[in-house]
Amino acid sequence: MIKVAMTSVYVDDVARAHAFYTDVLGFETRIHMDLGDGTRFVTVGAPEGAQRDLQLLLEPGQGPIAEPYRTAVRKAGLPCIVFSVDDVEEEYERLRMLGVEFTQGPRDEGPYLTAVLDDTVGNLVQLAQPKG
């Protein structure tokens, strides 16, 4: 069986992204390695998840491929990733109380309730709650 082990999110600043994704969104650090020359390899994962669960690589977003991609996705108003939540309304209120800015409040989107937030490091992130 094949499973997704890791996916990347390009970010403006890996240290700021790490702080936001852990301190604000509630993910846990899985890997935090210094690769030299100030480069870090940082992954986060769901709280209380197993080390083999899906990891999110906070990847530097500069460069000839990443930067145009991130700019185009953001300009189109598209989220770079979707996170599943149990209660969109509850997460929306919790995160707003922490100062997180949303570009879309909770909304009915067919089989999901969704909201879209700004991750402070160049991306829009969607929260999705399956209905029913």
3-state secondary structure 12-41: CCHHHHHHHHHHHCCCEEEEEEEEECCEEE
Residue 79: inside a domain = yes
Range of the domain at 99: 6-130
Number of domains in the chain: 1
Residue 103: inside a domain = yes
What element of type H or E holds 114?
strand 112-118
Q: Is 99 helix (H, G, I), strand (E, B) or coil?
A: coil
pLDDT of 50: 67
Residue 1: inside a domain = no
Please report, in tens digits, the pLDDT of each residue of the chain (132 residues total).
888 899 999 999 999 999 999 999 999 999 999 988 888 899 999 987 766 789 999 999 888 999 999 999 999 999 999 999 999 999 999 999 999 999 999 999 999 999 999 999 999 999 999 997
Q: Which two tokens stand for residue 8?
A: 């990347």
Instruction: Give the HSE-up count for residue 30: Cα atoms under 13 Å, Cβ half-sphere.
Output: 20
Q: How many helices (H) and strands (E) does the chain have?
A: 3, 8
pLDDT of 49: 72
Residue 89: inside a domain = yes
Kindly report the pTM of this predicted structure.
0.92
